[in-house]
Amino acid sequence: MGVAFTALAIAEARANAVGAVRLVCGEERLFIDLLLVAWHGAGGFAPGAVVESLTIEVPYSAIRALFRHGRALCLALDPEACAPYNRFSLTRFTEEPVEALASAYQARQRAHVASHALPIPAGIVAALAAPADLASGPLGLASLAVVVATATWLIARAVVRSLSWGGPGSDRRRDALEAELSRRMGFFAVAPSGVSPQFPAASPAVGFGGRQGSRRPLDPRGLPAPLRDRLGARAVRRAISGELGAQASPSPATPREPSTLPALAGSDAPLGRPRAILPILAVAALVVATLAFVQRFAIPREPPALLEIARMGSTVQARANRWAELDPAALEPLEPSLPRCLCERADSLLWRGGVPRLSLHPSSGPDDSDGAIEPDEGEYDFDFAVVNNDAEPLRDVRVVLTFSRRDEGGRRVGITERGLFYEGLLRPGRAVKWHVTAPGTEIKVEPGVVGTLEGEPAPPEAYVALARARSRAVRIHAAAMLAYHRDPRALDALRNLGAPMPAEAEVFARIRRATAEVIPCDVMAQGGRLALCLFNASAVAHRGTTLRELSETAGSSARQWELDATLPVHEGLKLDLPLQGELPPELAVDLREGARP
């Protein structure tokens, strides 16, 4: 019937068919047997369109392109004559059965999937398993992962190309198919190495489709009429004028068509150099250079022996001599190393019992902050404010105030209740105030929300806005909560309040201590010892601090502890100090003047 070729159609950008293909070059037509072929488009392989067997018969004039792309032979047919499979990227030409090509195609697909799936996991595993002296730090581990992933991808792509190639025999069969199709279309190609053609050789042909390799077109005047019409009259005029066909020889007579493919002779031609060798060598050189750099600069070296210092110069020798002559007793002893710690906030009586979810602030007027309200001739007249300290809004806030008075026998009589209600959501860090009047000499307050904070408090920004409230008691509460957050704006809120009243002086002092640079926290008594964390929040190390007890009853006999340890920047030291008596209710920190290392 004609010369038969069996090849594998692979997925390429120019192809729309993948699978096993057999091409038979007849006398006037090209027969294409599609065996286990599927459609391959821009979206990839469509498994639902697999064709078990399909024969397509097209004239040679329907060939639109024939050129090489790497080791593949690309063949494009007229879509009107052959649809939907009209573009093939053929490789792995063989004489084996179609079943062998099917297994080779499956192996190539598995290698193709592995080339995309393996690089990233291989890089991650290499980064995690790398020893510390090879790569350390985020940048070093990331660089190692990228290098390993790149090398894995290049090796996998090389494996895919090797599975698609088929060896030198595939190249010889590919060249034979190209020569046969060129001859059938009226062109004559150079005979491929290792193939004894049974037709006369001529000048190389140019592939249809615009790709030009080592082949040249012959005189178009010698082509068959259909092909000469496709090339057009312009090409014929160029051939006549000498632009195209100056060196062309007359069209040879069509030789006798062989009925079978000539026997392929053995070839000793060396294998083609894979394109992946140079990238792999470059990656390997990069890895070796990186390891050499790490070995040279990253690994610590042992200091030189004293006998070798003289070789390094007189200055180094003089320094070594002075160091050797020093009296060890004159050296200052090293400071003992203490465990490090961190403080979220200072230990203070302002919140030692916890921060209530709903703070209550009764006052006799806008400038009153002591929270004590007294009846005036059996009548109460005061303001009552509440603040939501929770990070979540409170819905429908209720407070019940019960007023009463006592008779001559001391019994409670004349009970009056006032219910305070705020409808809707009370947002975090917001306050609401009522004005209350009621008869009585005693008052009982029952809020609808009780308990202390278990989660996060309201954000500092809410308390910054609350510090501009009309009620002084609410503004002092806002400053205290900013100190709870360790927000430096607490001092600004105190300054805006002005001079403290006598009843406010102690609260102002506690807020200032809670916002100081050095604060104590986690204060507790353990087996007759005082355990605490002393935290330095400043950007300067401090040395020489004094812990002082604050107590109303201690007076001049207040206990204190002198510390010579250096407080590191933005860190704290865990201290274990002797304790005689009870745990101090509150501690103040005094920094020694000029005691900075």
Higher pLDDT, 191 or 67: 67
Higher pLDDT, 95 or 554: 95
pLDDT tens digits for range 420-429: 999 999 999 9
First to last CA, the chain: 100
Domain-located, residue 530: yes
Same domain, 194 and 223: yes
10 Å CB burial of residue 186 (0-12, 13-18, 19+) is buried
Same domain, 365 and 410: yes
Alpha-carbon separation of residue 518 from 462, 543, 589 (angstroms):
26, 11, 7
Domain-located, residue 17: yes
Same domain, 507 and 571: no
Higher pLDDT, 13 or 510: 510
pLDDT of 506: 93
Mean pLDDT computed over 230-242: 45
pLDDT tens digits for range 212-227: 333 444 444 444 444 4
Domain-located, residue 50: yes
Domain-located, residue 234: yes
Query: What's the domain range around 568?
Result: 518-591
**CATH code assigned at 56:** 2.30.29
- pLDDT above 60: residue 233: no
> Encoding tokens for residue 418?
């006032």
Number of CB atoms found within 10 A of residue 584's CB: 21
Domain-located, residue 306: no
In whole numbers, what is the pLDDT of the chain averaged over residues?
Answer: 77
Same domain, 523 and 467: no
DSSP-assigned letters across all residues of 10-24: ---TT--EEEEEEEE
Number of alpha carbons in the 13 Å side-chain half-sphere of residue 272: 16
Number of alpha carbons in the 13 Å side-chain half-sphere of residue 187: 26
Domain-located, residue 124: no
pLDDT of 60: 87
Same domain, 477 and 561: no
Mean pLDDT computed over 304-319: 52
Domain-located, residue 263: no
Same domain, 552 and 575: yes
Mean pLDDT computed over 439-460: 94
Mean pLDDT computed over 271-280: 58
500: confidence class by pLDDT, cuts 50, 70, 90: very high
Mean pLDDT computed over 202-216: 38
Which domain-ending residue is among 514, 542, 562? 514
Number of CB atoms found within 10 A of residue 148's CB: 21
Same domain, 33 and 78: yes
Mean pLDDT computed over 128-143: 78
Same domain, 505 and 411: yes
Domain-located, residue 12: yes
In DSSP terms, 385 is beta-bridged to 361, 433
pLDDT of 244: 35
Buried b (16+ CB within 10 A) or exposed e, 251-271: beeeeeeeeebeebeeeeeee
Which domain-ending residue is among 241, 275, 294? 241
Sequence-distant (6+) residues with CB within 8 A of 226 are 61
pLDDT of 564: 85
Please compute Rg for the chain using Cα positions: 47
Mean pLDDT computed over 14-26: 83
Whether 176 and 289 have beta carbons less than 8 Å apart is answered as no
Separation of alpha carbons 233 and 212, rounded Å? 21
Whether 194 and 261 have beta carbons less than 8 Å apart is answered as no
Separation of alpha carbons 5 and 3, rounded Å? 7
Same domain, 439 and 559: no
Separation of alpha carbons 579 and 530, rounded Å? 5
User: What is the 3 state secondary structure string of 562-580?
Assistant: EEEEEECCCEEEEEEEECC
Which domain-ending residue is among 483, 514, 545? 514
Q: What percent of the chain has pLDDT over 70?
A: 70
Separation of alpha carbons 119 and 122, rounded Å? 5
Mean pLDDT computed over 499-524: 94
267: confidence class by pLDDT, cuts 50, 70, 90: very low
Higher pLDDT, 114 or 556: 114
DSSP-assigned letters across all residues of 179-219: HHHHHHTT--PPPPTTB--SS---SPPPPTTS---S-----
- pLDDT above 50: residue 22: yes
Buried b (16+ CB within 10 A) or exposed e, 395-430: eebebebbbbbeeeeeeeeeeeebebebeeebebbb
DSSP-assigned letters across all residues of 438-507: EE-SEEEEEESS-SB--SPBPPHHHHHHHTT-S-HHHHHHHHHHHHHTT-THHHHHHHHH-SPPTTTHHH
Number of alpha carbons in the 13 Å side-chain half-sphere of residue 53: 2
Higher pLDDT, 133 or 360: 360
Same domain, 449 and 371: yes
pLDDT of 322: 57
Same domain, 466 and 540: no
Separation of alpha carbons 384 and 362, rounded Å? 4
328: confidence class by pLDDT, cuts 50, 70, 90: low
Q: At what angle do helices 472-484 and 489-497 cross, to 10 degrees?
A: 160
Mean pLDDT computed over 541-569: 85
| Domain total in the chain | 3
Same domain, 540 and 555: yes
Whether 42 and 28 have beta carbons less than 8 Å apart is answered as no
> Encoding tokens for residue 280?
């792999």
- pLDDT above 60: residue 126: yes
- pLDDT above 90: residue 493: yes
Alpha-carbon separation of residue 490 from 345, 458, 460, 483 (angstroms):
13, 15, 10, 6
- pLDDT above 60: residue 558: yes
- pLDDT above 90: residue 518: yes
Dihedral of the alpha carbons of 547, 549, 555, 559, in degrees to the nearest 10: -70
